Structure 1
Amino acid sequence: MFDQFTAAVAAARTPGQRVRAQAMLENAACAARLSSMADLLEQAHRASGSADRDRWRCDNWASVCAQIGAAQTLTAGMVNSLLTHAVVLREKLPKVGAVFAEGLITYLLVRTICRRTALVKDPAALAAIDAELAAELRGWGAKSLDQTDADIDALILRHDPHAVRRVQDVVRSTGVTVDTDGATGVSRIEATVEATDGAAFQRRVELLARTVCDRDPRTADQRRAAAVGAMGFGWDRLPCMCETDGCAAASRPAVGGVVIHVITRRDTLHGTTDQPPPDPEPEPPTTPEHPEERFDVDPQPPDDGDEPSPDPDPDVETDSPNGESGSNPVPAGDLTAQRRGLVGEQPRMLSKPLREYTITELVDEVSADRGQYCPASPGVILGGPVLPAPVIARLAMHATVTDLIHPGHAPPEPRYRPSRALADFVKARDLRCRQPGCTRDIDDLDHTIPYPWGPTCASNLAGFCREHHLLKTFFPGWSSVQYPDGRIVFTDPDAQSSTSYPGSRLLFGELCEPTAPAATRGTPPPKHTAGLTMPTRAITRKQARDKRIDDERERNTPWAEQYLRDSIPPF
């Protein structure tokens, strides 16, 4: 199938010719990949019992998405988008798909076409749009995104005015977006709300920002930003950061019902105060939520008498904390000072106005401060981004600190539900759902070998989001094997294998130290679902999609009717 494309690449004589030939090969390969995804979905629908699974909470579509995500290490959102476009090309726009298969258009353009034509329902209109688009695409040329949208919409207008995508203006009128920068530990929150809600929010932020004492080092804007976080935790006041004895506003507020788990090492907590960290509290009883605002845990490998770690590789230079060698290494800073440096007025970059500098003086002054190396390790929010050590040290000032103990080779627990200590360890080791390609938070802990055949121990427990927990438990054809170091090898219905590694492997490798192997009791059945029932949907995924299309077309009706009236000539 790709012989002509690979032959064109081989025959190219210049870099420009190779770029053109390789671009067409890439486009054709992407088209073939989408076609295979559509084949995989059709195969799932042809399987025995498939019709009943369309109402399952984890349905045929979810199983195919998991299979594709595992094969390509793609997130669930990306796979959903790819499979949707594959189905659209197969069922609604086959002629556009044929142009794509010839390598003449990119996936970016195909994605735009699928999105802009999603509201077209009439088969005749779809066929006409497909034919005209396929003819136009052969000479489409380079266009901006806005011009591409406009040209596709103009074609849709001629065949189905109700199908033009205009609902974005309605959807974007209200909503909240939280965008987190994993490198800095800062989130940007954007919200569009009604005027009364905005006024109430502004007043609440101002009141919370004033609950600290006059010695708090933060600026007014920084206190207002911290007040937004206090509202999220359900606090009735803002903890003061003056760090002076006797401050009445410095204590941690009462629990507000929201728990954020942060995993870090002990060296990061040493920068929070001048006092050593408190002794770990005894394990609390198993409850749905641990009553604390922050959950800072310190990964501790088991003390089983192993020999100390060998010295670093002698071939690796370690003259400075960040690996630089030479006479002028970057200095290691003090974590407490770095934490305190996160608040207060922004320091001046230059000591005098810019206009008074020569180029040489400006370069010398800007490059004089090389910064400081952070002496402590970073941490991570459970299921979230990595946080720098100074940010965690500041958060830990008003958090509950609980030690995380590696279970080592401890025997399995004699019950189905793991203890709080074991559950915390497994979540900290895995960080996110263990299904290959999934980035969702952990909702459930699952026994890889079903209980009671498999034990309740770290080597037989893994964290999953709810959808992939249901997939692993109920859906035929899926199986997995877990190893003592936390690795899990998944096998999909096509007998293809994918390996999932614990999320803590890079930052907290000690959490992946092997634990006691899981010993089975008897031979469990392939899918032990006796007495269990897969949750079902009120309507199928297709019915839900059709309803969204109908609702959006209905919202377009007034505009479409006005457009049609304006299109009538005045004579």
Structure 2
Amino acid sequence: MFDRLVSGTNTPGERVRAYARVENAACAARLSAMADLLEQAYAASGSAEREQWRCDNWSSVCAQIGAAQTLTSGMVNALLTNAVILRDRLPKVCAVFAEGLITYLLVRTICQRTALLQDPAALRAIDAELAAQLRNWGAKSLSQTDADIDALVLRHDPYAVRRAEEAVHTTGVTVHTDGATGVAHVDATVNATDGAAFDRRATMLARTVCDRDPRTLDQRRAAALGAMGFGWDRLPCMCEEPDCDAAARPAVGGVVIHVIARQDVLGDAGNRATEDPTPDPDPGAGPQTPPEPERAPEPEPEAETPTPAPRTGDLTAQRRALAGTSPRRLSKPLREYTLTQLITELNADPGEFSPASPGIVIGGPVLPAAVVAQLALSATVKTLVHPGQAPPEPRYRPSRALADFVRARDLTCRHPGCTRPIDDLDHTIPYPWGPTCASNLAGYCRQHHLVKTFWPGWSTVQYPDGAIVFTDPDGQTSTSYPGSRALFPELSEPTAPVPVCGTPPPKHSAGLTMPRRRITRAEARRQRIDAERQRNAPWVKQYLRDSIPPF
């Protein structure tokens, strides 16, 4: 299909240019196929009724695209949105993209900067002018690209210019999590009075510990943000002294964060691990400790020069090192070093590996072992039990122990590509045809649970190790594996096979009702565009007044 783009290429430089065009053209073809898939869904019988569903035609197509390419829901939504814009609003720009002359990054910017255009004549004019300019667009910075596209939009429809001033001044909170360090960065824009109240509250909570707490005031103020989230009225002290009155963990608030870790990370905290306080309705059907698996004999090692083992430090010391001021890296001022002396001193202490395994937040990031050990000081520790070959539970709703295991095994929604937190536990083979057991339960976000339950053409097969094979309405298959398989492979050890009781119907949704939207997705988009254009009105009036010559 793309042979004509690479024919006659000989030098490496020619091949780079040719295959860049191939990549761009292939991306255009992929977006076109996505738009075809959406058009096919709209053409199906009953699609108009499904537009009012909570999981509408758009959601169903996104689920199919996400499973096919293992993409997250947000990424698929963006791709499908741009595919529709290119086909319906910017056909001439789409043709240039199909020739491989522009990149998807530029196409995405064009789709975003022209989203507020409503007048068909203005849209056609901008599409034609952009298509002509894009053939000789050249290399431009991101800011210059935005400015050039906005200038073109401004000439045809001033109300359609995308402006950032209001977005900058809008209040909001964003949390950026660093999965490598176990640290999150919080950016917040709030009202002045709210900011003052937060500042004072953080300092008050930071002073609820005893004087022997090793953390600095800034570290305790940062910990106060977590205390607010958990609904605590004070900080647990980290002095670790037996006579400290502030060391006890505060009462549980309205938020619980689940962290999975091995026993070697918890230290003394693991000794106070508790069982699930909620009794099982049928304790005899609850999970049991799995038998110890047989281990294959290890091969004899080949004779080779032994390598020195990495240094492993004391986890308690590493945990305590997280609090307090950082030690000095250098023994004297930097100006007194030669380059050789500086390199020698910096490399004198190569650091040490953690002797314990990392942990992971369910639906969140991986945490280093020292961070988990620090959290365990003020956490409620419960033992997570693998069901092993335990028989199914004789009821629809799983016990607390079984539900905790499934959530810990899956970590996030099991739909291929989805990374959303788990909202629901679903029976792969519908109950009562399929039993309530680990090999027949999986976690899903609400959207993909609705897709699986209501949309025809989707089917799943689950295996005892937690792997699930999804088949979409076109018959294409994708495999989803438990999220814990990399860090905690023991959670993916096979559980008891599923005994099937009869033949379930193709879609067991009798008596269930798909939640409905108040307005359709298209109407909601129109309302957002109208609202943003209306917010541009004062700026446009001032712009038009300033454009009048002074004579």
TM-superposed CA distance for 1:145, in Å, is 0.5
Q: Which amino acid aligns with 1:278?
A: R
Q: Gapped runs of 5+ residues in structure 2?
A: 282-286
For 1:282 and 1:58, locate their aligned partners in 2 and report how far apart those are by CA, in whole Å.
35
Asked if 1:307 corresponds to 2:287, the answer is: no
Asked if 1:34 corresponds to 2:34, the answer is: no
The answer (yes or no) to whether the contact 1:177–1:190 under 8 Å persists in 2 is yes
Question: Are residues 305 and 384 of structure 1, via their aligned partners in 2, closer, same or farther at CA, if it must alter by over 3 Å?
Answer: closer
Asked if 1:137 corresponds to 2:134, the answer is: yes
TM-superposed CA distance for 1:281, in Å, is 2.5
TM-superposed CA distance for 1:561, in Å, is 1.7
Q: Using structure 1 for the length normalisation, give the TM-score.
A: 0.93
Please name the residue that 1:183 is paired with: 180
For 2:386 and 2:504, locate their aligned partners in 1 and report how far apart those are by CA, in whole Å.
28
The answer (yes or no) to whether the contact 1:301–1:513 under 8 Å persists in 2 is no
Q: Using structure 2 for the length normalisation, give the TM-score.
A: 0.96
For 1:343 and 1:279, locate their aligned partners in 2 and report how far apart those are by CA, in whole Å.
25
The answer (yes or no) to whether the contact 1:167–1:552 under 8 Å persists in 2 is no
Residue deviations 1:385-430, cap 9 Å, x none?
0000000000000111111111011110000000000000000000
Q: Which amino acid aligns with 2:23?
A: E
For 2:297 and 2:227, locate their aligned partners in 1 and report how far apart those are by CA, in whole Å.
45
For 2:133 and 2:194, locate their aligned partners in 1 and report how far apart those are by CA, in whole Å.
48
Q: Which moved more, 1:139-148 or 1:352-361?
A: 352-361
Please name the residue that 1:538 is paired with: 518
Q: 2:271 aligns with which of 274, 277, 284?
A: 277
Q: 1:59 aligns with which of 56, 59, 75?
A: 56
Q: Which amino acid aligns with 2:346?
A: V
For 2:293 and 2:86, locate their aligned partners in 1 and report how far apart those are by CA, in whole Å.
59
Please name the residue that 1:5 is paired with: 5
Identity %: 72
For 1:511 and 1:352, locate their aligned partners in 2 and report how far apart those are by CA, in whole Å.
50
The answer (yes or no) to whether the contact 2:9–2:18 under 8 Å persists in 1 is yes
TM-superposed CA distance for 1:219, in Å, is 0.7
TM-superposed CA distance for 1:376, in Å, is 0.4
Please name the residue that 1:225 is paired with: 222
For 1:367 and 1:495, locate their aligned partners in 2 and report how far apart those are by CA, in whole Å.
57
Secondary structure, counterpart of 2:460 in structure 1? strand
The answer (yes or no) to whether the contact 2:276–2:401 under 8 Å persists in 1 is no
Residue deviations 1:47-80, cap 9 Å, x none?
1111111111111101111111111111110110
Please name the residue that 1:373 is paired with: 353
Asked if 1:388 corresponds to 2:382, the answer is: no
Please name the residue that 2:284 is paired with: none
Question: Are residues 482 and 41 of structure 1, via their aligned partners in 2, closer, same or farther at CA, if it must alter by over 3 Å?
Answer: same
The answer (yes or no) to whether the contact 2:288–2:390 under 8 Å persists in 1 is no
Q: Which amino acid aligns with 1:153?
A: D
Q: Which moved more, 1:416-425 or 1:14-23?
A: 14-23
Question: Are residues 525 and 565 of structure 1, via their aligned partners in 2, closer, same or farther at CA, if it must alter by over 3 Å?
Answer: same
Secondary structure, counterpart of 1:176 in structure 2? strand
Please name the residue that 1:549 is paired with: 529
Q: Which moved more, 1:476-485 or 1:351-360?
A: 351-360
The answer (yes or no) to whether the contact 1:476–1:493 under 8 Å persists in 2 is yes
Q: 1:502 aligns with which of 482, 488, 491?
A: 482
TM-superposed CA distance for 1:565, in Å, is 2.3
For 1:416 and 1:82, locate their aligned partners in 2 and report how far apart those are by CA, in whole Å.
38
Q: 1:472 aligns with which of 452, 469, 474?
A: 452
For 1:68 and 1:40, locate their aligned partners in 2 and report how far apart those are by CA, in whole Å.
9
The answer (yes or no) to whether the contact 1:301–1:510 under 8 Å persists in 2 is no
For 1:355 and 1:69, locate their aligned partners in 2 and report how far apart those are by CA, in whole Å.
55
Question: Are residues 254 and 553 of structure 1, via their aligned partners in 2, closer, same or farther at CA, if it must alter by over 3 Å?
Answer: same
TM-superposed CA distance for 1:520, in Å, is 1.1
Question: Are residues 108 and 315 of structure 1, via their aligned partners in 2, closer, same or farther at CA, if it must alter by over 3 Å?
Answer: farther
Aligned positions of 1:423-434 closer than 5 A: 423-434=403-414
The answer (yes or no) to whether the contact 1:213–1:249 under 8 Å persists in 2 is yes
Residue deviations 1:85-121, cap 9 Å, x none?
0000000000000000011110000000000000001
Residue deviations 1:533-560, cap 9 Å, x none?
0000000011101100000000001111
Q: Which amino acid aligns with 1:189?
A: V
TM-superposed CA distance for 1:361, in Å, is 1.5
Residue deviations 1:182-229, cap 9 Å, x none?
000000001010000000000000000000000000011111111111
Q: Which amino acid aligns with 2:185?
A: R
Aligned positions of 1:87-102 closer than 5 A: 87-102=84-99
Secondary structure, counterpart of 2:419 in structure 1? coil
Please name the residue that 1:512 is paired with: 492
Secondary structure, counterpart of 1:401 in structure 2? coil
Please name the residue that 2:122 is paired with: 125
Q: Which moved more, 1:112-121 or 1:68-77?
A: 68-77
For 1:171 and 1:53, locate their aligned partners in 2 and report how far apart those are by CA, in whole Å.
37
Asked if 1:113 corresponds to 2:124, the answer is: no
For 1:90 and 1:192, locate their aligned partners in 2 and report how far apart those are by CA, in whole Å.
38
Q: Which amino acid aligns with 2:4?
A: Q
Q: Which amino acid aligns with 2:461?
A: V
Asked if 1:195 corresponds to 2:192, the answer is: yes
TM-superposed CA distance for 1:232, in Å, is 0.7
TM-superposed CA distance for 1:309, in Å, is 5.8
Residue deviations 1:504-559, cap 9 Å, x none?
01000011111111111111110011100000000001110110000000000111
The answer (yes or no) to whether the contact 1:429–1:504 under 8 Å persists in 2 is yes
Aligned positions of 1:483-494 closer than 5 A: 483-494=463-474
TM-superposed CA distance for 1:360, in Å, is 1.9
For 1:462 and 1:176, locate their aligned partners in 2 and report how far apart those are by CA, in whole Å.
32
Question: Are residues 487 and 222 of structure 1, via their aligned partners in 2, closer, same or farther at CA, if it must alter by over 3 Å?
Answer: same
Q: Which amino acid aligns with 2:294?
A: E
Secondary structure, counterpart of 2:360 in structure 1? strand
Please name the residue that 2:46 is paired with: 49
Secondary structure, counterpart of 2:220 in structure 1? helix
Question: Are residues 267 and 286 of structure 1, via their aligned partners in 2, closer, same or farther at CA, if it must alter by over 3 Å?
Answer: same
Asked if 1:566 corresponds to 2:546, the answer is: yes
Secondary structure, counterpart of 1:140 in structure 2? coil
For 2:300 and 2:156, locate their aligned partners in 1 and report how far apart those are by CA, in whole Å.
70
Aligned positions of 1:152-301 closer than 5 A: 152-167=149-164, 169-170=166-167, 172-270=169-267, 272=268, 277-285=271-279
Q: CA RMSD for the aligned pairs?
A: 1.8
TM-superposed CA distance for 1:357, in Å, is 1.5
For 2:209 and 2:304, locate their aligned partners in 1 and report how far apart those are by CA, in whole Å.
47
